[in-house]
Amino acid sequence: MTIQSVEWKNDAIVILDQQQLPNEIIYEHLTTIEHVWESITYLKVRGAPAIGIVAAFGLALWARSKQSNHLELFLDEFEKQRDYLASSRPTAVNLFWAIDRIVKKVKRAQSVAEAKDLAVAEALAIQKEDVQTCRRIGENGLSLLKDGNTVMTICNAGAIATAKYGTALAPFYLAKEKGLTLKAFACETRPVLQGSRLTAWELQQLGVDVTLITDSMAAHTLKTKEINAVIVGADRIAANGDTANKIGTYGLALLAKAHDIPFYVAAPFSTIDLNTLTGDDIPIEERAAEEITHLQGKAIAPAATKVFNPAFDVTPSELITGIITEYGVVRGDYQTELTRLYSNEIETLQV
């Protein structure tokens, strides 16, 4: 079964509503940019690359719907719509990378009609590129593992968090294609439970041996089970390699260090943000208290309980064994290596 997180269909956007998984596979049609904003804010679409892709289609959707022949006014309003989508979630840099790429392309238009076509074409290009990017991340990640290895992961950095294959889970897809066996331990990932609801579901669909644990079991599991590596996704990688990812990732990195287990971040180049110098500069989203005080609508804490609900934390680069990208595995002096990667990528794009 090929599950796709986001699809551009007949000038509308079709999303897999990830809040309904694993109990129901429900696809929703988004017909306004407000629907797109809501789908990101309420995690119907989540995962850094998928957020970028749906936001790019959101701008294309707005452009297609706009009745205007005045290019200057159209472009002014288009940039306001970019700012509107930018307000949906603050941490995943792919959101900003994608909508800024669309705006840059559309501003080359010589007419409103051309601007509309450029918006759709560029959003489709972003989605198509992400498929090959994540496949290459899977190949580079698999090169670090052996047949029969066991990998621990947190949250969901799978196919539904991207265009296809995923990032941290991409090695599992490539292993399957090559007839290799990888096993997984998935942390449930409180409070939104992306691990139990999405990763366990996604890996079962793939036919992978996946064991679900609560987040509090991670230390004991790393101590008592044969875990060969921890591989996680990313929402924003700073210029020095500090990485923001789902809350709980930093703790997992400390535990991996304590048990001398390699800890890898898997992410596309579009998640690397050289304008963010260190992890201290990464905006960390704080979400509603109800995500913690309630479970499926039922209170699991006393009314009016004070809550701290950061959706992400930052893993310092010194705890990261390597960053698995589509260009290879980056190690060591991340500042130098990521800057070099950036200049190579820019050179490639300019070819």
Residue numbers at the binding site for ligand LNRAV4D5 (CB under 6 A): 46-49, 155, 157, 161-162, 167, 194, 232-233, 235, 245-246, 311
45 vs 59, beta carbon nearer ligand LNRAV4D5:
45
Helix (H) or strand (E) holding 102: helix 93-106
90 vs 233, beta carbon nearer ligand LNRAV4D5:
233
Residue number of the CB atom closest to ligand LNRAV4D5:
233
Question: Residue 47, annotated ligand binder?
Answer: yes
Question: Residue 46, annotated ligand binder?
Answer: yes
Give residue 56's Cα distance to chain centre. Answer: 14
81 vs 94, beta carbon nearer ligand LNRAV4D5:
94
Question: Residue 197, annotated ligand binder?
Answer: no
235 vs 273, beta carbon nearer ligand LNRAV4D5:
235
Pairwise CA distance, residues 200 & 254, whole Å: 23
Query: Which residue among 130, 235, 242, 273 is the active-site one?
Result: 235
Pairwise CA distance, residues 246 & 254, whole Å: 15
Phi and psi at residue 286, to the nearest 5°: -110, 130
Give the list of residues 6+ apart from residue 327 with CB closer than 8 angstroms, or none. Answer: 136, 269, 341, 344, 345
Instruction: Name the 3-class secondary structure at 321.
Output: coil
Question: Residue 89, annotated ligand binder?
Answer: yes
CB of 328 to ligand LNRAV4D5, least distance (A): 18
Task: Write out the two tokens for 169.
Answer: 């889970």
Phi and psi at residue 322, to the nearest 5°: -170, 155
- Tell me whether residue 333 is one of the annotated catalytic residues: no
For residues 264, 270, 275, 279, the Cα torsion angle rounded to the nearest 10 degrees is -30
Residues belonging to the binding site for substrate are 46-48, 89, 194, 245-246
Catalytic residues: 235
Residues belonging to the binding site are 46-48, 89, 194, 245-246
